[in-house]
Amino acid sequence: MANHASAKKAARQSERHRLHNRYYAKSTRNAIRDLRNTTDKKAAQEGAPKVFAMIDKLAKIGVIHKNKASNLKSGLAIYINKLS
């Protein structure tokens, strides 16, 4: 365990950040899964901006890389455009 006060504080902060990041990453993964399971094009198009915003926020705060965010959004857009 940490011996210095600053190291103890850093350990507390990193645990808080880990839990925070895990919550938002899991929420976004669930939203992506729900969007991919949608078979109605209109419903998918209405839900896409919310999911894209969630992905962008993860990239902005550093939970995922910006290129991964772009790849996820691109894949979802391709899926939505293929729906009939």
**Encoded amino acid at 74, one letter:** S
**Residue 60 pLDDT:** 97
Q: What residue type is assigned to position 40 of the chain?
A: D
Judge contact between 54 and 27, C-beta under 8 A. Answer: yes
Query: pTM to 2 decimals?
Result: 0.86
pLDDT of residue 3: 86
Q: What is the pLDDT along the chain (84 residues), one digit of tens a residue?
A: 678 999 999 999 999 999 999 999 999 999 999 999 999 999 999 999 999 999 999 999 999 999 999 999 999 999 999 998
pLDDT number for residue 1: 66
Full DSSP string of the chain: ---SHHHHHHHHHHHHHHHHHHHHHHHHHHHHHHHHT---HHHHHHHHHHHHHHHHHHHHHTSS-HHHHHHHHHHHHHHHHH--
